[in-house]
Chains A and B, each alone.
Chain A
Amino acid sequence: MKLDILYFAWVRERVGKSQEAVDTNAKTAGDLVDELILRDAGYAAAFSDLSAICVAIDQELGDFTTLLKDCREVAFFPPMTGG
Chain B
Amino acid sequence: MAARVQEAPFDFSAEVVAFQADVQNAGAVVTFTGVVRDDSGCLDHMFIEHYPAMTEAALQKFALQAMEKFGLEDALVIHRYGVLTPGEAIMMVATAARHRKDAFAGADYLMDYLKSRAPFWKKEVSKDHTEWVASKVQDEDALAAWSDAPKS
Smallest distance from the beta carbon of A66 to chain B beta carbons, Å?
Answer: 13
Q: Does B116 contact A (CB under 8 A)?
A: yes
A80 and B116 form a contact (CB under 8 A) = yes
A13 to chain B, nearest CB (A): 9
Interface centre among A10, A73, A75, A79 (most CB of B within 10 A): A79
Is A61 an interface position by the 8 A CB rule? yes
A79 to B134, CA, bound (A): 8
A80 and B54 contact, CB distance less than 8 A? no
Q: How far is the CA of A50 from the CA of B143 in the complex (A)?
A: 21
* A contact residues around B117 at 8 Å (CB): 61, 80, 82
| B118 and A56 contact, CB distance less than 8 A | no
Residues of chain A at the chain B interface (Cβ within 8 Å): 6, 8-10, 56, 59, 61, 73, 75, 77-83
Query: Can you name 21 A-B residue pairings with CB atoms under 8 Å?
Result: A8-B49, A8-B119, A9-B121, A9-B123, A9-B132, A75-B51, A75-B119, A78-B121, A78-B132, A78-B135, A79-B134, A80-B115, A80-B117, A80-B120, A81-B120, A81-B133, A82-B114, A82-B116, A82-B118, A82-B119, A83-B120
Which residues of B are in contact with A by a Cβ distance under 8 Å? 34, 49-51, 53-54, 57, 79, 90-91, 111, 114-123, 132-135, 150
